């Protein structure tokens, strides 16, 4: 069977790539409260996170941990935990949110970017705070269930919640 004409074939689409830290200590998970003036998800709890900037995902994670919270992580202590593939609306650029678990780190989380995060806290896994960024909750639930992949917004999957600004 001949291949469909090029115009009829699906085309590759660039994705936004987000990288997130799943840091658990003594049954508690590190989450930050986003600044009230954040463009995305103001006053919602979220992972320590950032966008890849012409770097590997693990390099991004290590950079963001240092920049946002003063944590030092060795690449050897990082393992993939979960991915959430998100489509906010048809025709928008998809997002791939990669969540990595750090087995060890040095330092205590401190607010180093107060325009983005108003505070870090360690939350019990059975008492996570609300409101929380929807895909972060999806990822946490996935990690706890032993799943490594989730989808939001794609046909047949729940729509991702969006903040008014996001």
Q: Is 31 exposed, middle or buried (0-12, 13-18, 19+ CB in 10 A)?
A: buried
Identify the CA nearest to 99 among candidates 117, 116, 84: 84
- Whether 44 maps to a domain, the answer reads yes
Query: Tell me, what's the pLDDT at 31?
Result: 99
| pTM value > 0.85 | yes
CATH, residue 140:
3.90.79.10
Query: Tell me, what's the pLDDT at 160?
Result: 79
The yes-or-no verdict on residue 141 having pLDDT over 70 is yes
Q: How far apart are CA 49 and CA 119, in angstroms?
A: 14
- Whether 63 maps to a domain, the answer reads yes
Three-point CA angle 58, 143, 127, nearest 5°: 115
Q: Are 78 and 64 in contact (CB under 8 A)?
A: no
Helix, coil or strand: residue 138:
helix
Across 29-33, 38-42, 96-100, least confident range: 38-42
Instruction: Report pLDDT digits (tens) over 1-22.
Output: 666 666 666 788 999 999 999 9
- Whether 29 maps to a domain, the answer reads yes
Domain total in the chain: 1
Query: Tell me, what's the pLDDT at 4?
Result: 64
Instruction: Report pLDDT digits (tens) over 107-136.
Output: 999 999 999 999 999 999 999 999 999 999
- Whether 4 maps to a domain, the answer reads no
- Whether 5 maps to a domain, the answer reads no
- Whether 125 maps to a domain, the answer reads yes
Identify the CA nearest to 105 among candidates 69, 148, 156, 60: 69
Q: How far apart are CA 162 and CA 166, in angstroms?
A: 6
Confidence class for position 164, pLDDT limits 50, 70, 90: very low
Higher pLDDT residue, 90 or 139?
Answer: 139
- Whether 6 maps to a domain, the answer reads no
Instruction: Report pLDDT digits (tens) over 45-95.
Output: 999 999 999 999 999 999 999 999 999 999 999 999 999 999 988 889 999
Enclosing domain of residue 123: 15-152
């Amino acid at each position: 069977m001949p291949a469909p004409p090029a115009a009829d074939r699906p085309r590759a689409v660039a994705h936004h790539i987000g990288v997130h830290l799943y840091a658990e200590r003594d049954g508690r998970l590190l989450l930050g409260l986003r600044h009230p003036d954040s463009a995305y998800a103001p006053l919602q709890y979220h992972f320590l996170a950032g966008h890849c900037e012409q770097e590997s995902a693990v390099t991004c994670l290590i950079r963001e941990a240092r920049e946002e919270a003063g944590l030092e992580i060795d690449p050897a202590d990082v393992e993939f935990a979960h991915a959430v593939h998100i489509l906010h609306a048809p025709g928008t650029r998809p997002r791939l949110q990669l969540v990595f678990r750090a087995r060890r780190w040095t330092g205590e989380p401190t607010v180093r970017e107060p325009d983005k995060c108003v505070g870090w806290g360690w939350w019990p896994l059975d008492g996570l705070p609300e409101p929380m960024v929807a895909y972060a909750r999806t990822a946490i639930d996935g990690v706890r269930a032993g799943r490594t992949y989730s989808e939001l917004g794609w046909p047949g999957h729940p729509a991702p919640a969006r903040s008014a600004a996001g």
